[in-house]
Structure 1
Amino acid sequence: MSKNWTDLSIALAGLFQATGLVEQLAKTGYVPTDSYKVSIESLFELNPADTLAVYGGNIANLHFGLTILRDVLQQASVGKQRPHAHADALRYSLGILHLQKKLSGRKDMLGVIGSRLKQAAQQAEHFSTTHDNVIANIGGLYSETISTFRFRIQVTGDYNYLQQQRVAHQVRALLLAGIRAATLWRQLGGNRWQLLVHRKKIADAADTLLRSIPLH
C-alpha cells in the first residue's frame, strides 16, 4: 500500500508546529497567537473527520509547522554539517516520537489523558481554548503523565522565561500537542524509518502544501 505522503506531512507539520513553538517560547517568551491556538485546539479534536480536521480543516493553519518541517528535511537531504536554525525543534520532535511510542503501550495513561482532555475541552467552553486556566490544566496533565517516563525532553532557552509559571504551562501544553501529532502520524502508518528513507517525499509533500496556501 502506498503511503499518503500528504497526510503524513500534515501530521508531521503538526508535530513541528508544536515543537517550533516550544523552541520560540523558550527563547523569547512569545508565540504567534494563531499557530499556538491551532496547536492547542488539536488536543480537543479526538474524533476528526480526516487528518486536516485535527488542525481546523485549513492547511494555512499549519504554515508555521510546514515551513519548519520542509526546512529540516531539506537540510538533512543536503547533509551539510552546520547548525540548523531549528535544531531544538528537531530535537524535541525526535524526543516526542520516542515518548509517544512509550505512551502507546500504556493503556491506563492513555485513558487518563483522554478523560482529562475532555474535561479541559469543557473548561475551554467556559473560558477559551488558550485561557491560562485551560493551559495550566493541560500542562498539569503532561506533568502527571508524560513527565513520569524516565526519558524527558530537556527544553533549553532563556531561564528568565522558562522559570515563569505561565511559560512552563504553555511549554508542557505544546509538548502534549506534539504527542497528539505524533499519535496521528503513527495512526497514518508513520514510522521513524520513513524520516530517513523517504524524507525527500515528505519534504516535497510539505513544499506542495506550502505552495497551496494563498499569499495575503
Structure 2
Amino acid sequence: MSVESIDNQALAFAALAQCAKLANDVARQGVIDNDLWQVCVSSLVCTNPNSVMDIYAPASDLASGLDTLIKQLSDSGEGRSIEITKYIAGIVSLSRKLMRNDNAMAVMSQRIDQVKRQLHHFTINDDAVISNFASIYSDIVSPLGAKINVTGTPTHLQQLLNQKKIRTLLLAGVRAAILWQQVGGKRRHLFFSRKAYVNSAKQQLTQF
C-alpha cells in the first residue's frame, strides 16, 4: 500500500505517537484510556488495508496522536516529552529492522492470524489476547534491535498486566511505523518536514 501524501504520513505518524503516549501513560500512571487503547490495538488485526483510513477510521480516533505529534515536532518544544521521543525513535528503528527481515515478518503474520482466530471467542481487551500480542513483541520484534527501555513508576511497571499492555502498545506502534513508511514516511522527514507534519495535524484536528 502506498498513497503518499503529507496528510497520510501525518496520520500514520499520529497513530505511532498515540501508541507511544499510551505506553508512557501506562508506565507513569498505571491507567489508560480504553477507547484510545482499542484504536491502537485493533490496528494489529487490520492486515489487508487499502488506505490509512481503512485502519484508523474515523480519523478523530487519532486526535490524541495528532496532538502528541504537534507537541513532539513543533519548533517551540512546548509539551514535548523526552520519553515519548525516545519510544518513537526506538519503535521506528525496530520497524525498519522488521521490514528487512522476511522471516520475522512471516512468523509475525502467522502469530497475528492466530490472534484473529482467538478473537472469535474473546474481545481485543481480554487478558489472553493482550498476552498474545505482548508475546509477539517479545518473541519476534524486540530481539531485532536495541531494547526499548520504558521508564515510569515502579509500582505500575512491576504489574504483569501493565508490562503486557506496554509491549502490546509498542507492537501497535511498530505497526503504525511500518504504515508510515509504506505511505512514504522517512526518518529525514522528522527533521526536514516537521513543519508540514505539524500543519497537517493541526488542519486535521480542525475537521473533527
Fold match by TM threshold 0.5: yes
Once residues 88 and 139 of structure 2 are traced to their aligned partners in structure 1, the CA distance between those partners, rounded to angstroms, is 20
- Alignment of 1:170 with 2:165, yes or no, is yes
User: What's the counterpart of residue 62 of structure 2?
Assistant: 62
Once residues 150 and 51 of structure 1 are traced to their aligned partners in structure 2, the CA distance between those partners, rounded to angstroms, is 26
Q: How far off its partner does 1:49 sit? A: 2.9
Q: Please list the CA deviations of residues 48-107 of structure 1 after superposition, one character each: whole Å capped at 9, or x if unmatched.
A: 13112212x201110111110011111xx23x6x8x542211110011111111111110
- Alignment of 1:145 with 2:149, yes or no, is no
The equivalent position to 1:100 in structure 2, one of 81, 95, 99, is 95
Letter paired with 1:207: K
For the 8 Å contact 2:28–2:152, the answer to whether it is kept is yes
Which SS does the other structure have where 1:17 is aligned? helix
Once residues 72 and 150 of structure 1 are traced to their aligned partners in structure 2, the CA distance between those partners, rounded to angstroms, is 23
Once residues 104 and 69 of structure 1 are traced to their aligned partners in structure 2, the CA distance between those partners, rounded to angstroms, is 23
User: What's the counterpart of residue 54 of structure 2?
Assistant: 53
- Alignment of 1:127 with 2:127, yes or no, is no
Q: Please list the CA deviations of residues 169-190 of structure 1 after superposition, one character each: whole Å capped at 9, or x if unmatched.
A: 1000000000000000111111
Unaligned runs of 5+ in 2: none
How many equivalent pairs are there? Answer: 206
Q: How far off its partner does 1:125 sit? A: 2.5
- Alignment of 1:18 with 2:16, yes or no, is no
Unaligned runs of 5+ in 1: none
Once residues 119 and 165 of structure 2 are traced to their aligned partners in structure 1, the CA distance between those partners, rounded to angstroms, is 15
Q: How far off its partner does 1:145 sit? A: 0.9
User: What's the counterpart of residue 197 of structure 2?
Assistant: 202
RMSD: 1.4
| % same residue | 32
For the 8 Å contact 2:5–2:184, the answer to whether it is kept is no
Once residues 70 and 140 of structure 2 are traced to their aligned partners in structure 1, the CA distance between those partners, rounded to angstroms, is 31
Q: How far off its partner does 1:119 sit? A: 0.9
Letter paired with 1:27: R
Give the TM-score normalised by the residue count of structure 1: 0.91
